[in-house]
Amino acid sequence: MRLDLKDYLERKRKIVDQALDKYLPKEKDEPKIIHKAMRYSVFAGGKRLRPILSMASFELVGGKGNSILPVACALELIHAYSLIHDDLPCMDDDDLRRGKPTSHKVFGEGMAVLAGDALHALAFEVLLRAKRLDVISEVANAIGTQGMIGGQVADLEAEGEKVSLSQVNFIHTHKTAALIKLSIRAGALLGEASSEELDALSRYGEKIGLAFQITDDILDVVGKEKIIGKKTGKNQNKATYPKIMGLEKSKRIAKKLVEEAKEKLEVFGDNGFILKELADFIVNRAN
């Protein structure tokens, strides 16, 4: 029976949201304003793609139960913190995120910075529940200067400059793809994947991570603000695939990456169908 991806995503999203609600401080807890700001960004919408990828990977390699949930939620908290900081005037200066005013527009820049910092700290507090130092180490590396932050540094340095394809790839694979690859690897590690399975899933994660960011670049050019929930055309001075390769070639590259990602799942036979569906979803999404 073919997977109803929409139903699958909704079921998993609800599980993640319930767990996030449990892990996050309540708005009535002091200091109320920071807890309100944290919850505002975490529950402002979003597909929970990173935690869902970790859960799908965990289940694919035989993981059972809810032991993946703390890691899945920590990944979403990290993602939320990175978006808050990414939207700040000193970074991408965005007023909208998922169709709602960004954190700094609602709570002010100072409180937005603190909300991001607090979500970052909470993510590691939640991660400790998994009691897996190998996973915690991978998370720290993937979001540090060798991963997400390193990519953000390169993105800032490239703004308004003439850049090469290799520079764009560096930015994309670090700023965005590193956290997506990590999500896949974290689930596989928690599910006790074999070395062959872990390698296949790692390569799958690398390719869908890059495809995800290329698709974001494309949507900034052709997407509709009302649908994608943020202003379009803001990447004109950024290092992007459409800027370097052109729009149509960028679309072909993203689709090719997805096909290559799905090929990496052949080791799992028919059991890899969920991650294959998720790979197609990444490149075909409208926001």
Share of the chain above pLDDT 70, in %: 94
Mean predicted lDDT score pLDDT of the chain: 93
285 pLDDT more than 90? no
Q: Which residue has the higher pLDDT, 50 or 2?
A: 50
User: Mind listing the pLDDT tens digit for each residue in 12-30?
Assistant: 999 999 999 999 999 999 9
pLDDT band of 115, cuts 50, 70, 90: very high
For 162-222, the three-class secondary structure string (H helix, E strand, C coil) is CCCHHHHHHHHHHHCHHHHHHHHHHHHHHCCCCHHHHHHHHHHHHHHHHHHHHHHHHHHHH
The CATH superfamily of 5-284 is: Farnesyl Diphosphate Synthase (1.10.600.10)
Q: What is the pLDDT of residue 223?
A: 66
Q: Residue 225's pLDDT band (boundaries 50, 70, 90)? A: low
How far is residue 100's CA from residue 163's CA, in Å, rounded to a whole number? 32
Domain boundaries, the chain: 5-284
> Rounded distance, CA 23 to CA 3, Å?
30
Are 113 and 88 contacting, i.e. CB atoms less than 8 angstroms apart?
Answer: yes
Residue 90: CB atoms within 10 A of its CB come to 10
CB 261, CB 208: distance < 8 Å:
yes
Residue 235 has pLDDT above 90, yes or no: no
| Most distant pair of Cα atoms in the chain: their distance | 51
- Indicate the pLDDT class of residue 1, thresholds 50, 70 and 90: very low
Q: Tell me the pTM.
A: 0.94
For 149-190, what is each residue's pLDDT tens digit? 999 999 999 988 889 999 999 999 999 999 999 999 999 999
Flag whether pLDDT at 233 surpasses 80: no
